[in-house]
Structure formats: C-alpha cells, structure tokens
Amino acid sequence: MKSEIKEKAAFSRIRYSQCWEDPQCLVEALEIGGDDDVLSVTSAGCNSLALLLEEPRSVTAIDFSPIQSHLLHLKAAAIQALDYPEFLEFLGVRKSRRRLDCYRSVRKFLPDEAVACWDARREIIASGVIDDGRFDRYLALFRTRILPLIHSQPTIREAFRPKGIEAQAAFYRKVWDNRRWRMIFRVFFGKTLLGRLGRDPAFFEFVEIDKVGTNFLKRAEHAFTAIPIESNYFLKYIMTGKFSDPDLAHPYLRECNYERLRGLLPRLKIVTAAIEEYLDSLAEGTISKCNLSDIFEWMSPEQYERLLRRIVRASRDGARLAYWNLLVPRSHPPALDGNLERLVDLDRRLHLADRAFVYGDFVVERIKK
C-alpha cells in the first residue's frame, strides 16, 4: 500500500531540520517505561531522540523521506563522534568555521547511503544543518526580513526578558500586539505563503479553515500571554534564531543528557519506509507507544481510519499513541470506539501547556484489545 502522503508532495529536500513539536507533551502523554517499544515518526529526529532519553527498550524512527532519515543518522553520528561543544557547533547551534572538519569525524559513523547524501551536500554541513529545512528557512525569512518591519531589536529583546506571566501578557498587549504585527503576521502565515514557501500546497487539501493566518495569530497570542516566555525555546528561536541557553532547549541539545544519549543510541533504529507498509510487516502486538507527529493532516478520513486500524493491530493492549492536529481535526472515528479511547483530560492539559503553540489540538489515545 503506497503512502498517501508521499504521493502528494515532493520530499527530495529536507522539510524539517528541527522538530516543531513539544517533546514534553510526548513524554508526559506516552509515559514510556523500560519495557516499551516505541514507534516514532522521524521528521527531524529531535523528538525520537527525546523519547530515547526516556530509556525504552527500543525506539524505531520511521519516515518515507530518505533525507529525513539521513538527517537523523547525521545527528546520531555527531553524538557518537564529537564532544559536546563540537556537537553544538556542528549542528549550527553555535557559530563555527570548522564544521567540515567535524564532518570528517562524523562521517565514519554514518551508513553508506547517508555518507553519499551528505558528501553531496557539504554546503549544508558548512552552514549548519539545523536551519536548512524548508519550514525552518521559512521561519528564518520571517525572522530576518519581516519581523524587523514590525519591531526593533530592543523591543524583541525585552519581549524575551523573564518578567512573570502577568507582566509578560501585559507587554504583549500594550507593546507587541500592534497593527503591523497583526496585519503582517496574518498574511505571512496565511494559506498562500505558508503553502508556497513553508510547507506544501498539498498539505491544505483537507483544511476547511478559511482564515489560516488569523488562527495562527490567536495561537501566537496564547504563547505570548499564557506560557512562561523563559521556558519557550520554540517561540524564542522563531523570533531570534538562537538557543541562548541549550540547557533550556530541546532535550537532545542539553549537556546534561549528552553522554547518556550517546549510551542509548544502540536502542535506536532508523527506518525509511511508508508507515503503512512498515506496520503491515510487524507482528501483532509489537508496539507499545507511538509518536505520530502530525501525519494525519495529509490524509483523507478513510486513509486515516485505515492507518489507525493498522496501528491497533501492530500494538499491544494498553498501548498509547499521540499526535498533533495543525489545521485538520482528527481523532478516532466512532467505528473504532471499541479499540481506541481518547484520554481527553490528559491531552487537554498538555495542549494548553504546549510550547510549540502552533497546533490546534494534541490527541492522546489508548488502545484497547
């Protein structure tokens, strides 16, 4: 069975070089233990590494896009080959002129197909791979070309100075939320530009929301007014292009996790395949936890239900799956009430605290067999 997603858009370039989904939501939703076998949509690989830090028995990162798999191979090889400061430089978190020198060490830990991929893309290595994804470059365009038309650098710095949630909300409403911000934001993150430059026009096939930019503006307001700014490295990176303190950034970038993550890498398996085909190859009851990113956005309701049935078959009783809805509402259909139970209280709480604020919903389901 061919992937419905793969048939709709080109995936020859990196689409995401960072995961724009909050790993803390996944960690709390999935409650991973030492006997878990986790299936995780690869994307940029960051969240698969975050789940690996929960020390399950295994994490299988799956993506039908070879270059996304090669990206995770690159990050894993860099963890094996480099010390922590070199690792931050190599990815692009810190400035560096020696990334190609570091790559010579990293290259030794890559499988042959990944070596061929990155040997042919040394310019991406030299500039720092963490900002090369299509969506990441779209955010960089907003940060470097659009945001300066709205706010000065002193205003941007003040926005990210810790000040308490009430003062933070007041600053947004009195200073940040001006007419230019609202007007330009709605246009830049509207359906036309987002589809053309950030994601893909095919992504919107099942989107019924008319004012996409207005929806994203409301979600940005929530991030600026309801989530402590000092903890939200997603928002800060979008607006500044920096992880000023990697120890407050994604778990795989934190120094305190680095050596432990290196020791856990043998538990990571990277698979390039359509998820439908991979699930059909598994014995019944193989999976106990599942991170599905936001892949259902691309699928028809019929394809979505068929994929859920495959997941149920390949999973254990009591297994959990978690996924995001960006613009297309998806939760299991009534026909699967006997097999899936949505954990509403849990996923509502996590969604409200989701630092990757762009998503319209976060869904956690438990499998019943």
Residues 266-308 pLDDT 10s: 999 999 999 999 999 999 999 999 999 999 988 899 999 999 9
3-state secondary structure of 182: helix
Q: Look at residue 177 and tell me whether its pLDDT is greater than 90.
A: yes
Percent helix, strand, coil in the chain, to 5, is: 55, 10, 35
pLDDT confidence band for 344 (50 / 70 / 90): very high
Mean pLDDT (the chain) is 94
Distance, CA of 244 to CA of 93 (rounded, Å): 9
Distance, CA of 113 to CA of 99 (rounded, Å): 20
| Strand bridging mode 268-272 / 58-63 | parallel
Percent of the chain with pLDDT over 90: 88
Distance, CA of 189 to CA of 139 (rounded, Å): 10
pLDDT of residue 200: 67
Q: Look at residue 326 and tell me whether its pLDDT is greater than 50.
A: yes
Greater confidence (350 vs 6) lies with 350
Q: Look at residue 58 and tell me whether its pLDDT is greater than 70.
A: yes
Q: Which two tokens stand for residue 345?
A: 């209280």
82 sits in which H/E element: none
pLDDT of residue 8: 47
Distance, CA of 298 to CA of 206 (rounded, Å): 7
The 340-342 sheet, strands edge to edge: 268-272, 58-63, 37-41, 287-291, 315-325, 361-367, 340-342
Residues ≥6 apart with Cβ < 8 Å to 361: 324, 325, 329, 331, 347, 351
Percent of the chain with pLDDT over 70: 95
Q: What is the mean pLDDT of residues 306-316?
A: 97
- pTM > 0.75: yes or no: yes
Q: What is the mean pLDDT of residues 104-125?
A: 97
pLDDT confidence band for 192 (50 / 70 / 90): confident
138 sits in which H/E element: helix 134-141
pLDDT of residue 12: 66
Q: Look at residue 24 and tell me whether its pLDDT is greater than 90.
A: yes
Q: Which two tokens stand for residue 309?
A: 């049935």
